[in-house]
């Protein structure tokens, strides 16, 4: 930078930050400042160069982030929602995206790979785990080419626009009634992973397989939990593979189902995160004041005994029914509101569990909507946080699809959805650039 004097002003010559935002050559200082020494300008030059160095660092950081735009983790933050669609009265997938953005929900799971849903989520930035249904496992287990065909049809065409962060291979296979599926689960998982590897997508799309509590012999107290002997034969090789690929252990944990099965011996307050005396695990001397954490730690105990103490547990399903049959204890609107409200508060703390304090608790809530076509007892059709018309089922802090939500909010969500994460990042970078230039000018 040169310090020049002329008849009318002092000029700083050729000051550039970088091409798109270069300062004009004639950045003039008024004549009234002509008497100021060049030492002042040298000081100013030092300040500018300091900001310039910081700016280069900022650009480098942005470059690193941009280079990893498509390298995502399957779970962002601590809260997600299962988007079940066994119903004939649900809002459109595009409305669901608006709803999730309004609720600031960044993670969702679907139980298939519906193309209309995947198209609607394009540019939303919301991480979505797709499901490879149980009915496909036997075919996928036959060979990698079958898995490759499925991925090329249902996953690859939607990347990177749609943030497909994971593939759940099957759902609640081990511990279920179909023992033939037990045998094909691991081969199917391996074939899906190998197909992703050949396509260069293993750092983008996680492979997992959610389990039910049926894989455990017992889960009380948490430290006593172990995998069933008949399940363990299939579970350990599966866990070994997931350990090598860095996938977590997904478990569907429902305090509601536990309470419904034994309301005489389980304190409803313990199941709902309400004030209660809790339980003490005598072996670990750990105290639990809610069943959710006890169920998560039971899974950690089982993993440790199986030889996988460092594997993370993520709850792939949990929730509470707002309605039920006469024999479904605890199924009520008030209990559903209490459980989901308190669970949301618990997850927002971003803390671990008593047995694994360094593993932040994460969970997908079941479910986004009530699903009127689901078979089974009444409770199965009444787990939704929202009603089919998009309004809230009960208030836990979310806003439904209503005009009262504010037109400006909907415009905001549509703009973010149109440009996605990268657009937001560019906007943030531009704002930072302007701020830095203003700071330099103010100096």
Stronger pLDDT, 16 or 163, i.e. the higher one: 163
Quick one: average pLDDT of 124-132?
A: 97
Is the pLDDT at 324 greater than 50, yes or no? yes
Query: Which tokens sit at 375?
Result: 């078979």
Average pLDDT across the chain, whole number: 82
Output the pTM of the full model: 0.76
Is the pLDDT at 150 greater than 90, yes or no? yes
Confidence of residue 366 (pLDDT cuts 50, 70, 90): very high
Could you give the CA distance from residue 163 to residue 382 in angstroms, rounded to a whole number?
28
pLDDT of amino acid 43: 52
- Give residue-wise pLDDT tens across range 369-387: 999 999 999 999 999 999 9
Selecting among 293, 312, 317, 371, the annotated active-site residue is 317
Quick one: average pLDDT of 408-420?
A: 36
Question: Which residues, other chains included, contact 334 with Cβ-Cβ below 8 Å and sequence gap of 6+?
Answer: none
pLDDT of amino acid 73: 60
Confidence of residue 154 (pLDDT cuts 50, 70, 90): very high
pLDDT of amino acid 218: 87
The question of whether 172 is a catalytic residue gets the answer yes
Locate the domains of the chain by residue range. Answer: 79-261+294-386
Selecting among 172, 206, 293, 328, the annotated active-site residue is 172
Is the pLDDT at 84 greater than 70, yes or no? yes
pLDDT of amino acid 294: 98
Stronger pLDDT, 134 or 64, i.e. the higher one: 134
Decide the pairing of beta strands 226-227 and 286-288.
unpaired
Integer CA distances (angstroms), 46 to 18, 38, 418, in order: 17, 12, 41
Which CATH number is 79-261+294-386 given? 3.20.20.80
The question of whether 213 is a catalytic residue gets the answer no
CB 41 within 8 A of CB 82: no
- Give residue-wise pLDDT tens across range 171-225: 999 999 999 999 999 999 999 999 999 999 999 999 999 999 999 998 889 999 9
pLDDT of amino acid 200: 96
pLDDT of amino acid 50: 52
Quick one: average pLDDT of 32-48?
A: 45
Confidence of residue 399 (pLDDT cuts 50, 70, 90): confident
Confidence of residue 74 (pLDDT cuts 50, 70, 90): confident
pLDDT of amino acid 331: 98
- Give residue-wise pLDDT tens across range 281-319: 999 999 999 999 999 999 999 999 999 999 999 999 999
For residue 299, give the nearest of 371, 199, 217 by alpha carbon: 217
Integer CA distances (angstroms), 231 to 139, 140, 179, 222, 248, in order: 22, 21, 10, 19, 18
Integer CA distances (angstroms), 214 to 176, 206, 295, 427, in order: 7, 24, 12, 48
Phi, psi (rounded to 5 degrees) for 110: -120, 165
Is the pLDDT at 424 greater than 80, yes or no? no
């Amino acid at each position: 930078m040169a310090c020049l004097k002329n008849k009318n002003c002092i000029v700083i010559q050729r000051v550039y930050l970088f091409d798109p935002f270069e300062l004009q050559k004639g950045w003039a200082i008024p004549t009234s400042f002509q008497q100021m020494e060049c030492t002042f300008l040298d000081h100013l030059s030092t300040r500018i160069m300091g900001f310039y160095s910081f700016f280069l660092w900022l650009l480098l950081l942005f470059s690193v982030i941009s280079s990893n735009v498509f390298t995502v983790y399957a779970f962002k933050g601590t809260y997600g929602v299962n988007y079940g669609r066994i119903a004939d009265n649900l809002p459109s997938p595009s409305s669901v995206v608006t709803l999730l953005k309004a609720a600031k929900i960044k993670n969702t799971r679907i139980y298939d790979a519906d193309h209309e849903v995947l198209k609607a989520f394009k540019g939303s930035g919301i991480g979505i785990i797709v499901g490879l249904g149980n009915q496909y496992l036997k075919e996928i287990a036959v060979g990698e080419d079958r898995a490759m065909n499925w991925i090329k049809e249902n996953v690859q065409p939607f990347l990177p626009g749609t943030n497909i962060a994971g593939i759940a291979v099957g759902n609640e296979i081990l511990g279920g009634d179909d023992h033939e599926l037990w045998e094909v689960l691991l081969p199917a998982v391996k074939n899906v992973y190998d197909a992703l590897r050949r396509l260069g997508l293993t750092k983008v799309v996680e492979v997992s397989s959610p389990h039910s509590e049926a894989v455990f012999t017992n889960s009380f107290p948490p430290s006593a939990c172990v995998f069933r002997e008949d399940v363990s034969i299939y579970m350990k090789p599966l866990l070994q593979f997931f350990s090598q690929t860095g996938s977590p252990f997904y478990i569907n944990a429902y305090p509601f189902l536990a309470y419904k099965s034994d309301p005489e011996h389980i304190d409803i307050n313990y199941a709902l995160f309400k004030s209660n005396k809790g339980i003490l695990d005598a072996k670990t001397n750990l105290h639990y004041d809610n069943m959710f954490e006890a169920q998560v730690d039971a899974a950690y105990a089982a993993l440790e005994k199986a030889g996988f103490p460092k594997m993370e547990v993520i709850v792939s399903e949990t929730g509470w029914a707002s309605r039920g049959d006469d024999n479904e204890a605890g199924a009520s609107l008030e209990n559903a509101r209490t459980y989901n409200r308190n669970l949301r508060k618990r997850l927002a703390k971003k803390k671990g569990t008593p047995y694994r304090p360094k593993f932040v608790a994460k969970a997908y809530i079941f479910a986004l909507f009530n699903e009127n076509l689901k078979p089974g007892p009444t409770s199965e059709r009444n787990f939704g946080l929202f009603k089919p018309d998009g309004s809230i089922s009960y208030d836990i802090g979310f806003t439904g699809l209503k005009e009262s939500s504010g037109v400006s909010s909907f415009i905001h969500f549509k703009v973010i959805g149109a440009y996605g994460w990268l657009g937001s990042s560019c906007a943030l970078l531009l704002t930072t650039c302007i701020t830095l230039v203003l700071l330099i000018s103010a100096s």
